[in-house]
Each structure stands twice: as structure tokens, then as C-alpha cells.
A and B are shown apart, each in its own frame.
Chain A
């Protein structure tokens, strides 16, 4: 019987280590797993990073008295206090939001600074920074929605 090169093709390919065409189950499972993990990572990691960087932050909301105004050099003075992340004034220059790390700076330190400068401010609220951001975002959405 004459040799038929097709007869033992599978055995021959195995011996020579010839890979079959197409994606095997193992490769497919690995690709799908990678995509699922990457997808979950893309959603979870930014949130995790955001949480980690803002978890100790609080916002202190101050109201300026009617006859008071906040000079720019005072703002930079407060910003330079260790633990103070940022200060935002509203458009009417009547409210001041100080974002600070409660682990590094106390609220009384901030009020002392205002007192030293003879600035008349009233503490309206002290709230978690993320919670405050969420409230502001919701308010913006409510305004945009007719």
C-alpha cells in the first residue's frame, strides 16, 4: 500500500508541534477573561483613586458679611496652610468654600486666620468634600433640566 501523506496528518502535526489554525479554547478564555478584567478595572480603578485621594477632605462653607470682601493676598495666605487644598469664591464674592484635609488641619485654624485678619465670616456648613461635590453636581443637573 502506497503511503498516504494525509493519513497520519494529526500525529505528524503533533510531533512537529505545528499549531492548528484558529483560536483554541484556552486562548479564547484568556482573551475574554482579560477583557472582563480590563473593563472592570477601567470602571473601578479611577473611582478607587478618586476615593483614596478625597476620603479625608472636607469642605467648609463660609459666608462673608455684607460689608466684607476677601482680598486676594488673604486667599493665598490661607492656601499656603498645610492641608488646605483649594479655596473657591462664588460669583458674588459672598461665599467662600475651603477644601481641606481634616487629618492635617483643623477648622478652628481656618477661623483663627479669618479672625486675625479681622474678616467677618460666618461658618454656614461643614460637609464631606465628595458629598458636597455630589450635591453641586445634582444642583447643576436640576438647573439644566427644564
Chain B
């Protein structure tokens, strides 16, 4: 309880990254993917993380998503020091706080759109009827109601990305982390996806998009630039 009170007084941002460092070790060689990063992201912000390939932006995203333990530094999300949590708490954290969108969609090919979207709710303990309703709501939100019972390979790239977005938001997470969500899409479809992310941001989701495409910057409220493992806001 003491810890909670202290954090409530000190923290002013939804996400705070401080002194972050990540080194990958391969045999005798070590590579600093992230050297020293300090930044914050406020609640309901739309932020793009931009940088060239190999600059450390995807590593940064995975660390913010509680998927990749940093070598040094702290990540506070909603005043939780996410790498001070035990593995079970961190899994709960991911389930409750984070919606992930991946460049290659990562949809299960033998499950329908509806079933793919329902997957993150499998561990929530919600009743089936409520799960169905929530999944149908988000599928409608991304405009795929008519294709809810199709398999992923019966959809276009843009539609698959929409399914991935629906899956990411079905548990109503406050934070959406997207890793190159438009990387595999043509420019018009990419614009549609960014508009969809923008509308989710207007609904109150904090959206963080990793991209190397400068056109995406226009959709965000702020950009964090990453180069050689360091960030410039």
C-alpha cells in the first residue's frame, strides 16, 4: 500500500521509460540494441516511434509490452514497474493493459475471423455469450461483420490487418502497441488502417506505432525518433 501511494504522488504519465538499456549477447560479441533511453507517453496519446531498420525500435516496443526484459533501466506503466512484477503478474499485465498488432498479422490460419478475435479472451474467464458479443462488437468496429466467419486466407492484407486490430482491442486494453502495422500494405490501405488507429485513439486508447514510414507521422500527435539505440523526442 505504501508503494502504491508513493507512485500515485510521483507519476504523472501513463508510460515512463528511464535509463533503458538492452544488450543482446551472441557468443563473445554483444550488441547494444538500446543504449540509454528516457521518455514518457501520456494517457490517450498517439505516438509513432520512427527510425531506420536496426535502430532498436521494435526492441523498444517489445520492452514496453512486457515481452523483453531490459538489461538496465525501468519501464513504469500506470505506475507499475513492469519488470519488478513476477511472471504471472506480468502475464496479467499484458492481458489487461496491452493490445499487440504485428506486421505479419500473426492470425491463426485455421480459425475464422470471429475465433481469432476471441482468442485473447480465452484466459479472461468471461462467459461465452459475453465473449461472443464483445468479439462481434469489435469486428463491427473494424468493418468486418460480413466476413466474421471467413478464414484469414480468404481475406485481403488490409482485412487481415483489421482482424489483428480487432483482436488487439477486444479486451479493451488502454494501450495498443503496433509494430509496423502498415508494412505489408499498399499506401491507400495503410492510410485506412492508420485512420482506424486514430479513431481508436480518439476513443481513449493510447496508441504507439513503430514504423519506418515517414508518411505515418502525420497521423500521430507526437513522434519519438530512434537511432542507434538512442531516442530523440
Chain A interface (Cβ < 8 Å from any Cβ of B)? 1-5, 7-8, 11-12, 14-17
Q: How far is the CA of A12 from the CA of B14 in the complex (A)?
A: 12
Whether B32 sits at the interface, judged by CB under 8 Å, is no
Q: How far is the CA of A4 from the CA of B204 in the complex (A)?
A: 12
Complex interface: chain B residues within 8 A of A5 (CB): 7-8, 11, 78-79
Q: Are B85 and A1 in contact (CB under 8 A)?
A: no
Query: What are 15 residue pairs bridging A and B, where the CB atoms are less than 8 Å apart in the complex?
Result: A1-B42, A1-B43, A2-B42, A2-B43, A3-B14, A3-B78, A3-B79, A4-B43, A5-B7, A7-B174, A8-B78, A11-B96, A12-B79, A15-B89, A15-B97
Complex interface: chain B residues within 8 A of A11 (CB): 78, 96-97, 174
Complex interface: chain B residues within 8 A of A16 (CB): 80, 89
Chain B residue with the shortest CB-CB distance to A12: B78
Whether B45 sits at the interface, judged by CB under 8 Å, is yes
Chain A residue with the shortest CB-CB distance to B41: A3
Contact of B80 among A1, A4, A7, A12 (CB under 8 A): A12
Chain A residue with the shortest CB-CB distance to B76: A3
Q: How far is the CA of A8 from the CA of B174 in the complex (A)?
A: 8
Main secondary structure of the interface of A (DSSP, over half): loop
Chain B interface (Cβ < 8 Å from any Cβ of A)? 7-8, 11-14, 42-45, 78-80, 85, 89, 92-93, 96-97, 174
Q: Are B92 and A14 in contact (CB under 8 A)?
A: yes
Complex interface: chain A residues within 8 A of B79 (CB): 3, 5, 12
**Minimum CB–CB distance for B203 against chain A, Å:** 13
Contacts A12-B80, A15-B80, A15-B85 given; indicate if A7 touches B92 (C-beta within 8 A). no
Main secondary structure of the interface of B (DSSP, over half): loop
Complex interface: chain A residues within 8 A of B11 (CB): 3, 5
Q: How far is the CA of A14 from the CA of B174 in the complex (A)?
A: 14
Complex interface: chain B residues within 8 A of A12 (CB): 78-80
Complex interface: chain A residues within 8 A of B8 (CB): 5
Q: How far is the CA of A1 from the CA of B15 in the complex (A)?
A: 12
Chain B residue with the shortest CB-CB distance to A11: B96
Q: How far is the CA of A1 from the CA of B42 in the complex (A)?
A: 6
Complex interface: chain B residues within 8 A of A4 (CB): 43
Q: Are A3 and B80 in contact (CB under 8 A)?
A: no
Chain A residue with the shortest CB-CB distance to B88: A17
Q: How far is the CA of A16 from the CA of B86 in the complex (A)?
A: 10
Contacts A3-B11, A3-B12, A16-B89 given; indicate if A8 touches B42 (C-beta within 8 A). no
9 tightest A-B contacts by CB? A11-B96, A5-B8, A1-B44, A15-B93, A15-B92, A3-B14, A1-B43, A8-B78, A3-B43
Chain A residue with the shortest CB-CB distance to B42: A1
Complex interface: chain A residues within 8 A of B45 (CB): 1
Complex interface: chain A residues within 8 A of B92 (CB): 14-15
Chain A residue with the shortest CB-CB distance to B175: A8
**Minimum CB–CB distance for B3 against chain A, Å:** 9
Query: Known contacts A4-B43, A12-B78; can you find 18 more A-B pairs with CB under 8 A?
Result: A1-B43, A1-B44, A2-B42, A3-B11, A3-B14, A5-B7, A5-B78, A5-B79, A7-B174, A8-B78, A11-B96, A12-B79, A12-B80, A15-B80, A15-B89, A15-B92, A16-B80, A16-B89
Chain B residue with the shortest CB-CB distance to A8: B78
**Minimum CB–CB distance for A16 against chain B, Å:** 7
**Minimum CB–CB distance for B2 against chain A, Å:** 13
Q: How far is the CA of A15 from the CA of B96 in the complex (A)?
A: 8
Q: How far is the CA of A15 from the CA of B89 in the complex (A)?
A: 5
Complex interface: chain B residues within 8 A of A17 (CB): 89
Q: How far is the CA of A1 from the CA of B13 in the complex (A)?
A: 8
